[in-house]
Amino acid sequence: MTKHEFGIEKPKNLQEEWPGQYKIFSWLEYVVNIPYPIFIITTYKANGKTNANLWSWGFFAGEENGFYSLIALTDTTHTYENIKRTKEWCINIPSLDFKEECFKTIEHNQIDDDEIAQAGFTKEPAICVHAPRIKECPISLECKFEWEKSLLKNSFQKIICGKIVHFGVDEKVVNLDQKERIEQLKIMYNFRSQLNPLTGEVTSGGISIIDKPTFSN
């Protein structure tokens, strides 16, 4: 295999699809284009209204003494503000069946909006944290704040680490084997627009699921 090697400096002639695109996101994100699972971060606002943030920048890691979520958040969001105040949140993983409701959370994001209800979802109480869960999401992870770190010096992006203290899984899938579970859950993945670094051509991205899982030893 022969690789085409790239430096990390943004090409001067690279055109943005929208103003500030390569200030908010690294241009390399569109070249490497690794799919991320889509989830909804839910918190309570200071006025008691629910906040629902459709997101896909994060991952999970753990060892014997804990399982943790790490999410990259911009420090101007309501979600960041709420997490800083309450130190608690939930990560809800939706299925493709509720794609429309997921994207409605983007439309209803004002301070007085009850974002879960106005998107067409149902709020349910968490078990161990002061944060709402989304009933329609087949997986809900309850998180408590552990630490925060700037992505880089003076960055507006913050890496938030939360310890998962409780989780709920749809009873319809919890006892299925891996292949059946993947097919039933229909977890969505975010594919960013694809940037060809040689030509500057951009191919539109979208949402995808794993519909035919194949496993090998």
The verdict on residue 12 lying in a domain is no
The verdict on residue 11 lying in a domain is no
Q: Express each pLDDT in 104-128 by its tens digit.
A: 999 988 999 999 999 999 999 999 9
Report how many domains make up the chain.
1
Confidence at residue 158, expressed as pLDDT on a 0 to 100 scale: 96
The verdict on residue 72 lying in a domain is yes
CA–CA distance, 124 with 134 (Å, rounded to integer): 6
The verdict on residue 8 lying in a domain is no
The verdict on residue 15 lying in a domain is no
The verdict on residue 10 lying in a domain is no
- The CATH number of the domain holding residue 61 is 2.30.110.10
- Reference 93, options 161, 45, 143, 24; nearest CA is 143
- Reference 184, options 131, 115, 149, 138; nearest CA is 138
DSSP code string of 92-154: EE-BGGGHHHHHHHHH--STT--HHHHTT--EEE-SSSSSEEETT-SEEEEEEEEEEEESSTT
Torsions phi, psi of 24, nearest 5? -75, -40
**Has residue 24 got a pLDDT over 90?**
no
pTM: 0.93
Supply the mean pLDDT for the chain.
93
Amino acid, single-letter form, for residue 198: L
CA–CA distance, 161 with 179 (Å, rounded to integer): 30
With bands split at pLDDT 50, 70 and 90, how would you rate the model's confidence at 151? Answer: very high
Please check whether residue 79 is in contact with residue 162, taking contact to mean a CB–CB distance below 8 angstroms.
Answer: no
The verdict on residue 87 lying in a domain is yes
Please check whether residue 35 is in contact with residue 190, taking contact to mean a CB–CB distance below 8 angstroms.
Answer: yes
For 116, the domain range is 21-209
**What is the percent of the chain where pLDDT is above 70?**
99
CA–CA distance, 17 with 140 (Å, rounded to integer): 34
The verdict on residue 129 lying in a domain is yes
Q: Express each pLDDT in 35-92 by its tens digit.
A: 999 999 999 999 999 999 999 999 999 999 999 999 999 999 999 999 999 999 999 9
